[in-house]
Amino acid sequence: MALPKILVVDDDPAVRNLIQRFLSKQYQMESAADGKTAMTLFEQFNPDLVILDVNLPDANGYNLCQEMQSRTGVFVLMLTSRGDEADKITGFSKGADDYITKPFSLKELGVRVAAILKRQRAVTTGEQQRIVLDQLMIDPVRREVTLNNSSVPLTALEFDLLHFLASHPGRVWRRSELIQAVWDYEYVGDQRVVDVHIGQIRRKLETDSNQPVMIQTVRGVGYKFEVPETTEANNKSQQ
């Protein structure tokens, strides 16, 4: 089996070399020092994951994240000195799958990279069945979501979060439980990262994201997925 491919984009050569040496035993590696080179390599190398700095000499990492994800389903891990909560929220809202601030631990980086790439694993037989709820269809094999027969563009993490919630309708999940189940490791940052991703999903799925029907907030606890009422009514009429 071919090793997963990782592209490191950082204008600091010491950071690029450190990450490449650390990860090269487990992954195929390429690196770039600026946005222009990064996009050229992105097209040629077709990475599974991009480790991306925000501050680049010719580009903004948040914009690069959006550009890359508009072309493929690539995972993006932001690695930057910009550690304010607002910066992290911006990163996640632009599609980042994870966010690590400098200075960073190589061991932690390795754990997070492995956790992100696990999302590429083949789904098990029990997970393969499509979820169809009224006009919403979630296909875990193709990793596609449609609503009213129109495709809904979700990032990899947004898809995993929606699929997990929809697989357990009616159950209330704490933020910490969702992080453990979807992020697949002990996330040490602000748990409001969950709120950011829920907000992104709602904007793409709900008629009114301020009054969500499917993904509901349980105040003081977390979130739950509710089956649309029309689906419940149809099910009862067929019994």
Name the fold adopted by 5-120: Rossmann fold (3.40.50)
Tens of pLDDT, residue by residue over 119-165, are 765 444 445 678 888 889 999 888 889 998 899 988 878 888 999 99
List pLDDT tens digits, range 186-212.
Answer: 555 567 788 888 998 999 998 888 889
Residue 189's pLDDT is what? 59
Residue 79 has a pLDDT of: 92
Asked whether the whole model's pTM tops 0.85, one would answer no
For 125-238, CATH gives 1.10.10.10
Residues 6+ apart with CB under 8 A from 216: 223, 224, 225, 226
- Least Cα distance to 8 among 40, 43, 47 occurs for 47
Q: Are 189 and 112 in contact (CB under 8 A)?
A: no
Phi (first) and psi of residue 123, to 5 degrees:
-70, 150
Q: Per-residue confidence at 23, pLDDT binned at 50, 70, 90?
A: very high
Element spanning 218, H or E: strand 215-218
E strand map for 58-163: 75-80, 98-101, 131-133, 136-139, 144-147, 150-151
- In 72-155, which ranges are continuous DSSP H helix? 85-93, 106-117
Q: What is the predicted pLDDT for the residue at 151?
A: 92
Q: Enumerate residues 6+ apart whose C-beta is below 8 A from 176.
A: 191
Question: Taking the domains of the chain in order of start, what are their residue ranges?
Answer: 5-120, 125-238
Write out pLDDT tens, residues 43-99.
Answer: 999 999 999 999 999 999 999 998 998 888 789 999 988 878 788 888 888 888 888
Q: Which residues contact 31 (CB under 8 A, 6 or more apart)?
A: 7, 8, 9, 10, 16, 19, 20
Instruction: Flag whether pLDDT at 40 surpasses 70.
Output: yes
